[in-house]
Amino acid sequence: MTVVLELQSALRSELKDPFGPVSTDTAAVLDAAGDPLVAVGDIVTYHILDAGRVPDLAFVDERTERAAVDDEVSAGIEDDRFDRVRAIDNPPGTLTAALLSALDDALASGERTLVRVDGEEDLAALPAIAAAPDGASVCYGQPGEGVVHVTVDTDTRERVVDLLGRMDGDSARAFAALGLDAD
Protein backbone atom coordinates (compact mmCIF):
# COMPACT_ATOMS: atom_id res chain seq x y z
CA MET A 1 0.00 0.00 0.00
CA THR A 2 1.35 3.40 -0.99
CA VAL A 3 0.28 6.48 0.96
CA VAL A 4 0.26 9.42 -1.45
CA LEU A 5 -1.08 12.16 0.85
CA GLU A 6 -1.49 12.46 4.60
CA LEU A 7 -3.55 15.03 6.45
CA GLN A 8 -1.43 16.81 9.01
CA SER A 9 -3.07 18.11 12.18
CA ALA A 10 -2.55 21.74 11.15
CA LEU A 11 -5.05 21.27 8.29
CA ARG A 12 -7.74 19.38 10.27
CA SER A 13 -9.47 22.59 11.32
CA GLU A 14 -10.06 23.45 7.64
CA LEU A 15 -12.21 20.34 7.31
CA LYS A 16 -14.57 21.36 10.11
CA ASP A 17 -16.45 23.76 7.82
CA PRO A 18 -18.52 21.80 5.30
CA PHE A 19 -17.89 22.27 1.57
CA GLY A 20 -21.62 22.58 0.94
CA PRO A 21 -24.99 22.82 2.68
CA VAL A 22 -25.83 20.32 5.45
CA SER A 23 -29.18 18.56 5.47
CA THR A 24 -31.01 15.80 7.32
CA ASP A 25 -33.49 15.37 4.45
CA THR A 26 -32.06 12.72 2.09
CA ALA A 27 -34.95 13.09 -0.38
CA ALA A 28 -34.29 16.83 -0.72
CA VAL A 29 -30.58 16.19 -1.24
CA LEU A 30 -31.34 13.62 -3.94
CA ASP A 31 -33.82 15.97 -5.64
CA ALA A 32 -31.00 18.51 -5.97
CA ALA A 33 -28.24 15.99 -6.76
CA GLY A 34 -26.38 16.07 -10.04
CA ASP A 35 -24.61 13.31 -11.93
CA PRO A 36 -22.51 11.50 -11.11
CA LEU A 37 -23.47 11.09 -7.46
CA VAL A 38 -20.60 10.17 -5.12
CA ALA A 39 -21.34 9.05 -1.56
CA VAL A 40 -18.63 8.96 1.09
CA GLY A 41 -19.40 7.11 4.29
CA ASP A 42 -21.58 4.22 5.40
CA ILE A 43 -24.43 6.26 6.88
CA VAL A 44 -24.68 8.57 3.87
CA THR A 45 -24.53 5.63 1.46
CA TYR A 46 -27.13 3.71 3.46
CA HIS A 47 -29.58 6.64 3.46
CA ILE A 48 -29.13 7.25 -0.27
CA LEU A 49 -29.75 3.57 -1.01
CA ASP A 50 -32.70 3.50 1.40
CA ALA A 51 -34.20 6.47 -0.47
CA GLY A 52 -34.13 4.42 -3.68
CA ARG A 53 -31.05 5.70 -5.48
CA VAL A 54 -27.80 3.85 -6.07
CA PRO A 55 -24.81 6.21 -6.00
CA ASP A 56 -22.55 6.14 -9.02
CA LEU A 57 -19.64 5.73 -6.60
CA ALA A 58 -19.71 4.99 -2.89
CA PHE A 59 -16.91 4.63 -0.33
CA VAL A 60 -17.67 2.67 2.86
CA ASP A 61 -15.54 1.29 5.70
CA GLU A 62 -18.09 -0.36 8.04
CA ARG A 63 -17.51 2.42 10.59
CA THR A 64 -19.12 5.68 11.63
CA GLU A 65 -17.56 8.17 14.02
CA ARG A 66 -14.87 5.61 14.91
CA ALA A 67 -17.38 2.87 15.86
CA ALA A 68 -18.71 -0.07 13.88
CA VAL A 69 -21.91 0.63 11.96
CA ASP A 70 -24.97 -1.23 13.17
CA ASP A 71 -26.19 -4.38 11.44
CA GLU A 72 -29.04 -2.58 9.64
CA VAL A 73 -26.63 -0.15 7.98
CA SER A 74 -24.15 -2.88 7.12
CA ALA A 75 -26.86 -5.13 5.64
CA GLY A 76 -28.39 -2.20 3.73
CA ILE A 77 -25.24 -1.61 1.70
CA GLU A 78 -25.50 -4.65 -0.54
CA ASP A 79 -22.77 -5.36 -3.07
CA ASP A 80 -25.29 -6.58 -5.66
CA ARG A 81 -26.85 -3.13 -5.97
CA PHE A 82 -23.63 -1.96 -7.64
CA ASP A 83 -22.11 -2.96 -10.98
CA ARG A 84 -18.66 -3.37 -9.44
CA VAL A 85 -17.17 -3.75 -5.98
CA ARG A 86 -13.55 -2.98 -5.13
CA ALA A 87 -11.70 -3.56 -1.88
CA ILE A 88 -8.80 -1.29 -0.97
CA ASP A 89 -6.63 -0.38 2.01
CA ASN A 90 -6.53 3.24 3.15
CA PRO A 91 -5.25 4.07 6.66
CA PRO A 92 -6.95 6.84 8.68
CA GLY A 93 -5.96 10.38 7.73
CA THR A 94 -4.49 9.35 4.38
CA LEU A 95 -5.18 9.05 0.70
CA THR A 96 -3.52 6.01 -0.85
CA ALA A 97 -2.69 5.29 -4.46
CA ALA A 98 -5.36 2.55 -4.34
CA LEU A 99 -8.09 4.97 -3.22
CA LEU A 100 -7.15 7.55 -5.85
CA SER A 101 -7.02 4.87 -8.54
CA ALA A 102 -10.39 3.41 -7.51
CA LEU A 103 -11.94 6.89 -7.62
CA ASP A 104 -10.51 7.79 -11.01
CA ASP A 105 -11.40 4.40 -12.48
CA ALA A 106 -14.98 4.52 -11.15
CA LEU A 107 -15.63 8.03 -12.49
CA ALA A 108 -14.23 7.06 -15.90
CA SER A 109 -16.06 3.72 -16.13
CA GLY A 110 -19.63 4.94 -15.83
CA GLU A 111 -20.40 1.79 -13.82
CA ARG A 112 -21.89 2.07 -10.35
CA THR A 113 -18.98 1.22 -8.07
CA LEU A 114 -18.83 0.38 -4.38
CA VAL A 115 -15.39 0.79 -2.81
CA ARG A 116 -15.02 -1.13 0.45
CA VAL A 117 -12.20 0.45 2.42
CA ASP A 118 -10.14 -1.36 5.02
CA GLY A 119 -9.06 1.56 7.20
CA GLU A 120 -10.87 4.85 6.71
CA GLU A 121 -12.70 6.49 3.80
CA ASP A 122 -13.31 9.92 5.38
CA LEU A 123 -10.92 11.89 3.18
CA ALA A 124 -12.23 10.37 -0.07
CA ALA A 125 -14.62 13.31 -0.42
CA LEU A 126 -11.66 15.61 -1.16
CA PRO A 127 -10.31 13.87 -4.27
CA ALA A 128 -13.91 13.13 -5.33
CA ILE A 129 -14.69 16.86 -5.34
CA ALA A 130 -11.42 17.56 -7.14
CA ALA A 131 -11.94 14.94 -9.85
CA ALA A 132 -15.70 14.92 -10.46
CA PRO A 133 -17.07 16.99 -13.33
CA ASP A 134 -18.87 20.29 -12.82
CA GLY A 135 -22.43 19.67 -11.71
CA ALA A 136 -21.62 16.35 -10.02
CA SER A 137 -22.69 15.80 -6.43
CA VAL A 138 -20.45 14.58 -3.63
CA CYS A 139 -22.22 13.73 -0.39
CA TYR A 140 -20.48 13.02 2.89
CA GLY A 141 -21.41 13.01 6.54
CA GLN A 142 -20.95 15.94 8.91
CA PRO A 143 -20.77 14.28 12.36
CA GLY A 144 -23.77 15.08 14.52
CA GLU A 145 -25.34 17.30 11.85
CA GLY A 146 -26.33 15.42 8.69
CA VAL A 147 -25.20 15.01 5.12
CA VAL A 148 -23.13 17.61 3.29
CA HIS A 149 -24.16 18.00 -0.35
CA VAL A 150 -21.42 19.47 -2.51
CA THR A 151 -22.31 20.47 -6.05
CA VAL A 152 -18.95 20.41 -7.80
CA ASP A 153 -17.97 23.67 -9.45
CA THR A 154 -14.76 25.54 -10.21
CA ASP A 155 -14.64 27.41 -6.89
CA THR A 156 -15.16 24.32 -4.74
CA ARG A 157 -12.71 22.30 -6.82
CA GLU A 158 -10.05 25.01 -6.48
CA ARG A 159 -10.57 25.13 -2.69
CA VAL A 160 -10.13 21.35 -2.46
CA VAL A 161 -7.15 21.22 -4.83
CA ASP A 162 -5.47 23.90 -2.70
CA LEU A 163 -6.08 21.83 0.42
CA LEU A 164 -4.81 18.63 -1.22
CA GLY A 165 -1.71 20.52 -2.38
CA ARG A 166 -0.91 21.49 1.21
CA MET A 167 -1.19 17.95 2.59
CA ASP A 168 1.98 16.04 3.39
CA GLY A 169 3.19 13.76 0.65
CA ASP A 170 3.31 13.77 -3.13
CA SER A 171 0.57 16.12 -4.33
CA ALA A 172 1.86 15.98 -7.92
CA ARG A 173 1.32 12.20 -7.90
CA ALA A 174 -2.16 12.64 -6.42
CA PHE A 175 -3.13 15.23 -9.05
CA ALA A 176 -1.75 13.03 -11.84
CA ALA A 177 -3.72 10.03 -10.52
CA LEU A 178 -6.87 12.14 -10.63
CA GLY A 179 -6.16 13.57 -14.08
CA LEU A 180 -5.80 17.09 -12.68
CA ASP A 181 -3.51 19.89 -13.73
CA ALA A 182 -2.46 21.47 -10.43
CA ASP A 183 -1.11 24.63 -12.05
Binding-site residues, in ranges, read 42-44, 61, 121
User: What are residue 80's DSSP bridge partners?
Assistant: none
Q: Please say whether the dihedral angle defined by the alpha carbons of residues 132, 135, 138 and 142, taken in this order, is positive or negative.
A: positive
Q: Which residues neighbour 105 within 8 Å (Cβ) at sequence distance 6 or greater? A: 113
Q: First-to-last CA distance in the chain? A: 27
**Known binding site for GTP: residues?**
42-44, 61, 121
